[in-house]
Amino acid sequence: MSYDRTVRLDTDFAATVAAVREALEGQGFGVLTEIDVTATLKAKLDHDMEDYLILGACNPPLAHQALEADRAIGLLLPCNVVVRRDGDTTLVQALDPATMVTLTGLPALESVAAEATARLDAALASLVEQG
C-alpha cells in the first residue's frame, strides 16, 4: 500500500518550500507546524543530512468533519507534507488522506479523505506546473 502522494521538482529547496506553502494555502490549508528535521538532527545528534522539512498542514473544515466522525482521528492530523532534497531534485510528499479510511475502517471518513485528496493533488499539480 502506498501512503504518499509525491512530486519531484527541479527547483531548489527554499523556493520549493515557499511554493508549497502558497500551493497549500490556495487549497484552503494552513501550516500549523513546521519541523526542520535537518536542523534538529544536527543540534541533537550532530548528524548532517540533506534538507528535510515536515509541514503540518490543516484545512479546518475538513479537520472538523473528520473529528466529528472520529475524535481519535486527531492522531492522524494535521496532514503531513514533507519537502526534502533528493540528489539534484526536491521531493514534495503528502500523506495520502485515504490512509485515514484504511486505518480506521470508518466509511464516514471517505468523503473527507476524498476531498482532502483532491485538494492536496491540486496543490501538488500546481507545483509541477510552476516547476
Domains of the chain as residue ranges with CATH: 4-130 (3.30.310.70)
Q: What is the pLDDT of residues 68-93, one digit of tens each?
A: 999 999 999 999 999 999 999 999 99
Confidence of residue 1 (pLDDT cuts 50, 70, 90): low
Q: What is the pLDDT of residues 38-68, one digit of tens each?
A: 999 999 999 999 999 999 999 999 999 999 9
Q: What's the distance, Cα to Cα, between the start and end of the chain in Å?
A: 28
Q: What is the pLDDT of residues 86-131, one digit of tens each?
A: 999 999 999 999 999 999 999 999 999 999 999 999 999 999 998 7
According to the model, what pLDDT value does residue 91 have? 98
pTM, whole model, 2 decimals?
A: 0.94
According to the model, what pLDDT value does residue 40 have? 98
According to the model, what pLDDT value does residue 103 have? 93
Q: E strands of the chain, at which residues?
A: 4-9, 30-36, 52-58, 79-86, 89-95
Q: What is the DSSP letter of 1?
A: -
According to the model, what pLDDT value does residue 131 have? 72
